[in-house]
Amino acid sequence: MNFYPFHVGDYKSHTDHLTPKEDICYRRLLDHYYLHESPIANDMPAVARHIKMRDSEEVIKAILVEFFELRGEYWHSSRADREIAAYASKSEKARKSAGSRWGNANALRTHCEGIATVECDGIATNTITNTNIKATTTRKKFVRPKAQEVADYARSIGFELDGEQFVAYYQTRGWKVGKDMMVDWQSAVVTWKKNNKDSTPTIDFVKEV
C-alpha cells in the first residue's frame, strides 16, 4: 500500500508516553507493515535493518510487545490487518470492474467483426448477429435488364418502347442516371413514358430526371 489512513488524535493519545526514538521506531514499523502488506517477522536483526535502526533492537522489541501481537513467527497489528484487508477488497472490486469493461469492449469488437456482407441470387445482405439481437437488412443489387425485359415491362404499363434502344442508351452512359448509378431500371422506363407523349420515342427526345 502506498497510502494508509493515519488518525492523528488516536495515534497521539496512544503514544504520548513514547520517547522521540520510540515514536520514530513505531512509525517506521507501521510504514514497513503497510508498505509490504504483511505482518512483521519475529527477527529483530532483520527488522532493525529494514527500518534503518540497527543499533536499537531493544527499542524495536519494546514497541512490538506494546503495540503488536505475536502470532507464531510474526507480529500482527489488528488495525493494520483490517486496513490491508479493506484495501485488498477494494482493489479486487476495481480489477473485476475493469475486467468487465474490457470484456464488454471485446464483445463489441467481436460483434462488429461479425457483420458480414454476402451476395446470393442478386441480393446483397448485411447481417448483424449476437446472442440477444438478430437483425437482417436487405437491398436489391442492380441487374442490367435485357432488351426484351424492358419492352415487356413498358408494354405492361401501356407504353411501347424499343427495349434495345433503351439498353443501348444507358449502356453508352455506364448505366448512370445523371451522375448516379441506376438502381431501378423499371423506374427509368416509367420516366421515359412520362417524358415521351409519343408512343414511339427516339433517343434524341429522351429526357432524364
For the cut 80, the answer to whether the pLDDT of residue 178 exceeds it is yes
- The dihedral built from the CA positions of residue 22, 23, 27 and 30, taken in this order, carries a sign that is positive
pLDDT score of 110: 61
Which of 28-42, 80-94, 171-185 has the highest mean predicted lDDT (pLDDT)? 28-42
Query: Residues 160-169: contacts with CB within 8 Å, 24+ apart?
Result: 160/199, 160/200, 161/189, 161/192, 161/193, 161/201, 162/200, 165/202, 165/203, 166/192, 168/203, 169/203, 169/206
Indicate left, alpha or beta for 158 from its phi (over 0: left) and psi (-120 to 50: alpha). Answer: left
Burial class (CB in 10 A: 0-12, 13-18, 19+), 6: exposed
| Number of continuous H segments (helices) and E segments (strands) in the chain | 8, 8
> What is d(CA 192, CA 208) in angstroms, rounded to the nearest whole number?
8
Band the pLDDT of 100: cuts 50, 70, 90: confident
Residue 68 phi, psi dihedral angles, 5° rounding: -125, 170
Residues recorded for the chain: 209
- The dihedral built from the CA positions of residue 153, 154, 156 and 160, taken in this order, carries a sign that is negative
How confident is the prediction for the chain on average, in pLDDT?
A: 80
Q: Average pLDDT, stretch 29-37?
A: 91
Least Cα distance to 180 among 146, 208, 205, 206 occurs for 208
Written as nine digits, the cell of 68 is 503488536
Q: For the chain, what percent of residues have pLDDT higher than 70?
A: 76
pLDDT score of 204: 46
Q: Which of 130-134, 140-144, 191-195 has the lowest average pLDDT?
A: 130-134
